[in-house]
Chains A and B, each alone.
Chain A
Amino acid sequence: MKTKKLIAIALTVVMTLSIAGCTKKSKESTTTDTTSKKLVIWAWDGTFNVVAAKEAKAIYEKENAGVDVQIVEMAQDDIVQKLNTNLSSNTTEGLPNIVLIEDYRVQNFLTSYPDSFKDMSSKIKAADFMDYKLKSDSSNGKLYGVPFDSGVAALFYRTDLLKQAGYEKSDMENITWEKFIEIGKAVKAKTGKAMLTMDPNDLGILRIMMQSAGQWYVKEDGTTVNLENNEALKEGIKVYKQLMESGIVKQISDWDQFVGAFQKGEVASVPTGCWISSSIIKATDQSGKWAVAAIPKLGAVKSSVNASNIGGASWYVLDKVGDSELASDFLAKTFGTNKDLMNTLADKINLTSTLKASSTTENYQKSVEFYGGQKILQDLSKWTSEIPSVNYGLYTYTIEDILTGTVQSIVKDGADISTALKDAQKQAEAAAIN
């Protein structure tokens, strides 16, 4: 008995020591100190953002010997959560030098933790980037983010199915959502396929519609809730309702079903961000059967244009972590100016960059066989430059969670749009009190 207990105590002691030992080791490997020239980058998605970061790393390390860039893949939700917990406790231990943040969320961070991010205004030139990105990436006149990918919305569609329904490519150019529904009904009737998928939990399509008219959940100042009298939102919800009632929608509940639907040929179109392209072209058996048109606009709203955005992110430097000068230099030399990097990424991950110069590079001039020879990067780039600029403000996800309930009540329970939006406005204003 005694020996058993002794062994147990010894084990515990050994383990306790090893914890302490781990503490020491960890301190060495994670403190991003200025002497060893190490940079840590956090990004989500191993097939897109992380690949981009790796390319940037390769370029920079070649030019700058002695710099070690470490890229860590982490789920976006986890990154957001860690940034919030750390920054709110004024702790920088373990934070990366550079972090990718989605455009919809950025204002939250820049406003909540004003001193935590590095001002990049002197490192990169705002004029080098597409206009609409500058709004989300700046705060109080200073540019904090290095714009990365364009979430330009586009209408990807199956030319063969549309032809079967009696529509040519020219019929798909610069249409309205109302026309889109009409076309969808014909497609359903003649081919039996749904026109698009929709996820009742995801109001992405409403965001596209709002931004196409230069509107958002909040007004220009970024804090005043704008739901009740938001014409674009109202019209958007009307269209949303029509879509759901038209019988042309295939309902899905998550990302994999979304991708599965068009990869399996179950839908005739995908109106969403350009980043979906890499998933579309994975279905190699459908090569040559796809084309890309401008995103439809809201026919009933005068200010709506055939250009909008959904998603997109930018790179930010955490000012109080390690060598922020080195970090900002890294970004400036790669995503900030390097159009060759953009060229490589256009090929590798189908990136539509928001660096203006990228549209002049080689890969952007290519005709893509999958899309019937269309020079899609050219088109996507052109539409990116037309995206109406909007201040995403502080409450995007808060308001959206409120709105999913509102939209459901309108679509499924037949509630009156104006009344429902009025109620949502009140809810959002209460939630926006900070």
Chain B
Amino acid sequence: MKKIKSSFKYIFLSIVSIISIFPFIWMLISMTNKSVDVSRGSLIPGTYFLENMKNLFNSDLNFSMSLWNSGKIAIISTVLSLVVASFAGYGFEIYRNKVRDRIFNILLLSMMIPFAALMIPLFKMFSTFKFFGLNTMAAVIIPTISTAFLIFFFRQNTKSFPKDILEAGRIDGLNEIQIFTRIYVPTMKSTYAAAAIITFMSSWNNYMWPLIALQSPEKRTVPLIISTMGSSYSPDYGMIMAGIVIATLPTALVFFLMQKHFVAGMLGSVKG
């Protein structure tokens, strides 16, 4: 009985894993094929890999520039988000009071507002800015660096942070800022790692806001380029698949490297 149960487990998990990975494998195979073969759903690797890569990087759409743009935006967004959200999560939890708790709950409400509702007002707002106005990297980044979700995440993880250490720090003569930077930050490495993954992924894959906020073609981010490639009258699917694979690499890489921290960080967010 146990053996049946155990083999069922493996079979089920294997099936789920295969379903999860399959599209990626298909992507990898497709990037070696001609567009026609990709549309036909061919599963046989072809010899078009170099051709597709060449087309991808030589295209007028300037794919390499978009990788650079996406990278810059994602890294800066992540760094700034971590700073703002960890400050906030720490502040709301360590310096709890009724007023701030209420404000926190209101901030949480912001998670329930669909982006579609904010698009136009945000656009109008940024179109009036002289600095950091539309078409700047800053415009793309600023609305995304403070998400209630991330603040909530940091706050939850902070709950399991031993407050006695703070007292000890104060007794040692450290001021509040030093306590944050010297004690809190190093202790919460996993949390920061998990938050970094989440933010990086979200920023790298962001489509709607960069689409609206960016105007110049040379500033386009990767999702915008892929979307443009996919909507031509006769898309070159081999090339698009190559683009998608490359586009997915950074996020996959970030995840692989930070995996352990990621789970540990998520663990911290659900500990009581």
Measured between beta carbons, the chain B residues less than 8 angstroms from A93 are 127, 133-135, 215
Within 8 A of A (CB), among B109-155: 119-120, 123-124, 127, 131-138, 141
Indicate which residue in A2, A46, A81, A89 contacts B232 across the interface (CB closer than 8 Å). Answer: A46
Within 8 A of B (CB), among A1-35: 1-2, 5, 8, 11-12, 15-16, 18-20, 22-23, 26, 29-30
Of chain A, the residue at the smallest CB distance from B220 is: A74
B186 sits at the interface (CB 8 A):
yes
With A46-B60, A75-B231, A256-B235 in contact, is A22–B182 under 8 Å at CB?
no
Measured between beta carbons, the chain B residues less than 8 angstroms from A16 are 76
B72 sits at the interface (CB 8 A):
yes
A61 sits at the interface (CB 8 A):
no
B61 sits at the interface (CB 8 A):
yes
With A89-B127, A94-B134 in contact, is A72–B217 under 8 Å at CB?
yes
Measured between beta carbons, the chain B residues less than 8 angstroms from A77 are 231
A221 sits at the interface (CB 8 A):
no
A260 sits at the interface (CB 8 A):
yes
B160 sits at the interface (CB 8 A):
no
> In the complex the two chains form, is B79's CB within 8 Å of A260's CB?
no
A95 sits at the interface (CB 8 A):
yes
A419 sits at the interface (CB 8 A):
no
> In the complex the two chains form, is B80's CB within 8 Å of A12's CB?
yes
With A23-B131, A73-B228 in contact, is A81–B212 under 8 Å at CB?
yes
> In the complex the two chains form, is A30's CB within 8 Å of B215's CB?
yes
> In the complex the two chains form, is B79's CB within 8 Å of A15's CB?
yes
- Provide the main secondary structure of the chain B interface: helix
Interface residues on B, range: 35 or more
With A15-B79, A22-B136, A255-B233 in contact, is A88–B120 under 8 Å at CB?
yes
Of chain B, the residue at the smallest CB distance from A24 is: B136
> In the complex the two chains form, is A279's CB within 8 Å of B234's CB?
yes
Q: How far is the CA of A50 from the CA of B228 in the complex (A)?
A: 13
> In the complex the two chains form, is B185's CB within 8 Å of A5's CB?
yes
Within 8 A of B (CB), among A82-98: 82, 85-86, 88-91, 93-95
Measured between beta carbons, the chain A residues less than 8 angstroms from B50 are none
> In the complex the two chains form, is B132's CB within 8 Å of A44's CB?
no
Q: How far is the CA of A255 from the CA of B76 in the complex (A)?
A: 38
Question: In the complex, how many angstroms separate the beta carbon of B119 from the nearest chain A beta carbon?
Answer: 8
Question: In the complex, how many angstroms separate the beta carbon of A404 from the nearest chain B beta carbon?
Answer: 20
Measured between beta carbons, the chain B residues less than 8 angstroms from A357 are none
Measured between beta carbons, the chain A residues less than 8 angstroms from B138 are 19-20, 23
Of chain A, the residue at the smallest CB distance from B233 is: A45
Q: How far is the CA of A23 from the CA of B72 in the complex (A)?
A: 13
Q: How far is the CA of A115 from the CA of B228 in the complex (A)?
A: 29
Measured between beta carbons, the chain B residues less than 8 angstroms from A50 are 60
A284 sits at the interface (CB 8 A):
no
A47 sits at the interface (CB 8 A):
yes
Measured between beta carbons, the chain A residues less than 8 angstroms from B80 are 12
Measured between beta carbons, the chain B residues less than 8 angstroms from A23 are 131-132, 136-138
A44-B232, A85-B212, A95-B215 provided; 9 other pairs, C-beta below 8 A? A1-B181, A5-B185, A26-B216, A47-B233, A73-B61, A78-B224, A85-B120, A94-B134, A256-B234
Pairs A–B under 8 Å by Cβ, sample size 10: A30-B216, A71-B60, A78-B211, A78-B227, A78-B228, A82-B212, A86-B127, A89-B124, A89-B127, A94-B214
